[in-house]
Each structure stands twice: as structure tokens, then as C-alpha cells.
Structure 1
Amino acid sequence: MTAKTAERPAPTRPQRRRISGGRKDTIASVFIHLELLVVALIVIFPLLWVVGASLSPGDGLGAVSPFPADATFDHYIDLFTETNYGRWYLNSLYVATLNMIGSVALAALCGYVFSRVRFKGRKAGMLSILILQMFPAFVAAIAVYMLFLNFGLLDSLTGLALVSIAAALPYNIWLMKGYTDNLPASLDEAAAIDGASRLTIFRKIILPLMRPMLTFVAITQFTLPWMDFILPRLLLQSPDKQTVALGLFQMISDEYSNAYTTFAAGAVFLAVPITILYIILQRYLVTGAAAGAEKG
């Protein structure tokens, strides 16, 4: 055995480099997987804790655990029988749907115009949009309140949706404009030579290629109204016009109210429509660009 081992040729320098590189890749892979595992635990544990709280008996949080031994669905039943959660949920769904549709439509149109059309005041318009997106929506809360008061839009879910669309529009326009800038202008030129109008080019060529970014805007804009609290608190007054965020806040804001486990049950239901929408649209984030190119 010793003689055979002694006769085996020593590895060459390229072979040693490959062995050393393989070990480094293995170590790097281990650290990457450990990092992903830690991040996953950080993200998943609060979710498990909320689900566990919604299934735990009682109203307090003292004995809550991610996996309660005596789990119960009483809090989910109380949520729909003893509160107006169903109405709050439908109100939030209405605002979120309008916000998603309006944001996608306006951002796509404006992004295409600013990217492809050259007109007077274009640079000034883009600079204004860039400045506006630096300010959060609640900075103009008083101005929005007075504007809605004068136009009779206070205590209106449609008005709340309009504010949400306008608040996120500068950022969404910049997203769509930057994405459209990376699309080949030769597609527009070839279609124009064939006699296609601006609207036809946008609808049949550019819009399918925008699908990944449109999907991202749709998901983010559908998600925001479910967690928005400041604007609904300012603009909505009637109990039947409240959103989920306002309704859940009332469960724990009163000093005599401590329905924290029912609050957790309501928070769990918030994830249902967002998760469904993401499952439906997530494939377009990857395949949208290729599908749009084939249609074009």
C-alpha cells in the first residue's frame, strides 16, 4: 500500500487550484445557507407568534406561544360575530383594489410618455416628480383634508383611494419610466414604420414588455392600503367606512379593551388577499418579459 501511494503522482498546480476553489465554494455555500436560515427564522417566528396568539384562549398575551397546546378558533368566530370586521375588510378590499388598478394604469401611461415622448416641459415634469417622491404622504395631510372638505370627499372610500394613488404615483412613474428606458426603441420605430399609432405601440408592444414591473406595482399598491392608518384616520369618520387598520386599532387602544388575541386573529386575515394575489401574479415577475417579447 505504501509503495502504491508513493508511486501516485502529486497533483499539478491547476488541480490544487481546483481543489482549493472547491473547498472555498463549499465554505461559502455553508455560510450563505446559514445566513438564509437565520433570516428565515427572523421572518417566520413573528408570523408563527401571531398565528399562535390568534389560537390561544383568553385575551391577554402573557401565556401566548407559537404552538398553543389548547388551541381554539373562538377568536376568529368572535371577530365576525362581535365586531364589524367583515365591513372593515370589505372597505379595505375596495380601497386596495381601486388603488392597484388606478396606480398600474396611470404609472404605465405616464412612464411610457416620459420615456418615449419628447415634449416641452418634460425635464421640469420629471424633476417635479423626483422632488415630490421625497416627501411622505402625511406631510400634506392638512392640505389634503382641506381639499377634501371643499370638494365634499371627506368620509369617502373612493376619496381615500384617490389619495393613495396620488401619494404613490411619483415613485411608480419613476419605476415605469426607468424600466421603459431599458426597452429597445427599435421596437417603437419598427411599429411606427408599419403605420402603428402611439396608442397601438403602447398597447400591443410596450405594455406586454412592462408586465414584470406592472406586476410589482400591482402587488405593492394592493398591499399598502391594508396597513395604512394615518390617512384613513384623517379622512374617514363614519363607523361603517372604517378600514381594517382603524378597526383593529380600536380593539387595543381603549384602556378598558385588551382583546389582543382577537386582534391577532384579525391580523392573520390581512395576509389572505395579499397572499392570493402574490400567488396569482408572481410568475409574471419572471416570465413577463419573455412573454411580452414573443407577443410583440
Structure 2
Amino acid sequence: MVDMLRREPPAAIAERERRKGRLSSVLIHLELLVVAVIVIFPLMWVVGASFGPGGGLANTSPIPEDASLDNYVHLFTQTGYGRWYLNSLYVATLNMVGSVVLSALCGYVFARIRFRGRKFGMLAILVLQMFPSFLTAIAVYMLFLNFGLLDSLTGLALVSIAAALPYNTWLMKGYADNLPASLDEAAALDGAGRITIFRKIILPLMRPMLAFVAITQFTIPWMDFILPRLLLQSPSKQTVALGLFEMITDQYANDFTTFAAGAVFLAVPITVLFVVMQRYLVAGAMAGAEKG
């Protein structure tokens, strides 16, 4: 058998390898097609329901027969969706900016500066990130009650920043550890201080990780329900998640098609943010592959 394989012509071996490659390619594309159908069909159904007639789900379909914009008109004229949207945008943007700035600073400090208590601080951050933020919901509520921060959108953003700071700090530190320390040393020899090195050298090199943190920290409060439900009380301070929830839980006004229209608009900022920052994420993945 070994002799027969050895006597097999190189052309036959190459043809067999090509067949294996074609079969693998077909199977991979088939798997991707199945996954795409599973992911895209619910999205098409939600978009179709947003254009469908009536308020129930019985007559909805991915491609409605009597499509109209009535649900979108009703969404912005008969509900407080515009106010909810602006509230969520404010909280998500503040959380994104605050998380990026603070986690980048903390990650740089832990990666580059040696100081007393550094290991203890890193261990404390590691332990803190193991606990979900909702476990501290009662403590956060009492803290906000004592400091008069209940029903505050800014306070909600601060809670989101603090909850994600340990994890984001570890991400930034791990990325900064892979950056050559010789860059800092060369800049220091030229007279640059810590702030200048961080702002002009480290931050530009950390763009892929900054983009990742920005996207995740915009998405989390944008879709969050538990903390807004706990900390926000007045209707004028509601976020999109709270407003849409009440839209379909009211026993006298279950309007699922208008809810679908609100869900479609809910996906717009996340999609735009991902498209804008996608090149930084791809660049970071490619850089990591080259180093690896």
C-alpha cells in the first residue's frame, strides 16, 4: 500500500487535494448560509412587522402586503419615543466617553508605572470584575437615595462607567503591555512627560482597543433595562428600553407593531458606530495576527 501511494503521480495527488479544498469550501459556505438565515430572518420579521397593519402580531410577516409608515408616525407622534431616545443617547454617549477615558488612563498607569500597591490594586480589580453589576443594585439604590441622585440620567451613566471600569482597565492594560516600552523611553529622552507620552504615543497605538471599548460601552447602557428600571422614576427620564417595555406590557395598549418600529430605530446608532469604527477593529485584529 505504501509503495502504491509512493508511485501515485503528483498530478493525482494535486487533484485529490483540490477536491478536498473544494469540498471544505462548500461546507464552510453552507454553514455560513445557514447561520446567516438564522440571524437575518428574525431581523427581517421585525422590520416587516414595523411596516405591518394593526397592532398585533397575528398579521405580521417579513414582507407585509399592506406596508405603510403608520407605525412610525404613531411612534413619534403618540408616544414619548423621541424623549426616550434622547435620554438613552445621552446616557450611552456619556458612558462611552467616560469609560474610554478612564479605562485608558488606568490601563496605562498599571502597565507602565511601578508604584506601591500596584499588585494589590490589580488583584482588587480582578476580583471586582467577577461580580455582575446587578448584584450591587440595592447598595447602588441606597447610595443614590442618600446623595440625591435618584432619577438622574447622569447618575445612571456614572453607575455604568463604574461597573465596567475593572474589566475595561484589564483590557487596556493587557493591550498596553504589548506596546514596546522603548517608545516611552525614547520620548522621555527627548523631554516628554508622562501625559505627553500617553496622549501622543500610547493613545494612537491603542486605537483598536479604544474602538472596542467605545462600541461595547455604548451598546451596554443603550440596551440596559435593570438599572434604569431601578434608578429612574419620572416618565420624562425614561430610556428607550423602559418605554418600549411599557408599550407592550400595558393591558390596554399592547401595540407590538409600534414596538417593532421602535426596535428598528433602536438599532441605528449601534450600526452606525460599528461601521464608523470597523476599520480600527479590523486593523487591531490584523496587527494581533501579525504579532502572533
Instruction: State the TM-score bracket (shorter-chain normalisation).
Output: over 0.9
Q: Give the letter aligned to residue 110 of structure 1.
A: C
Q: Which residue of 1 aligns with 2:94?
A: 98
Structure 1: distance between partners of 2:150 and 2:244: 21
- Give runs of aligned pairs for residues 74-93 of structure 1, distance below 5 A: 74-93=70-89
Kept after mapping to 2: 8 A contact 1:52/1:66: yes
Candidates 100, 105, 109, aligned match of 1:109: 105
CA deviation vs aligned residue, 1:177-228 (integer Å, no higher than 9, x gap): 1111111111112112222111111111110000001011111111111210
Identical columns (%): 77
TM-score (norm. length: structure 1): 0.91
Q: Give the letter aligned to residue 185 of structure 1.
A: A
CA deviation vs aligned residue, 1:246-294 (integer Å, no higher than 9, x gap): 0000011122221011101100000111112222221222346999xxx
Q: Give the letter aligned to residue 213 of structure 1.
A: M
Matched residues, number = 282
Structure 1: which 5+ runs fail to align?
1-10, 292-296
Kept after mapping to 2: 8 A contact 1:115/1:181: yes
Kept after mapping to 2: 8 A contact 1:155/1:241: yes
Structure 2: which 5+ runs fail to align?
1-6, 288-292
Candidates 121, 126, 145, aligned match of 1:125: 121
With 107-116 and 19-28 compared, the bigger mean Cα shift is at 19-28
Candidates 139, 162, 181, aligned match of 2:158: 162
Cα RMSD, aligned residues only = 1.8
Q: Which residue of 2 aligns with 1:190?
A: 186
Structure 2: distance between partners of 1:16 and 1:205: 55
Secondary structure of the residue that 1:36 maps to in structure 2? helix
Structure 1: distance between partners of 2:199 and 2:277: 20
TM-score (norm. length: structure 2): 0.93
Secondary structure of the residue that 1:251 maps to in structure 2? helix
Secondary structure of the residue that 1:177 maps to in structure 2? helix
Kept after mapping to 1: 8 A contact 2:247/2:259: yes
Shift of 1:39: 1.1
Kept after mapping to 1: 8 A contact 2:53/2:59: no
Secondary structure of the residue that 1:258 maps to in structure 2? coil
Secondary structure of the residue that 2:267 maps to in structure 1? helix
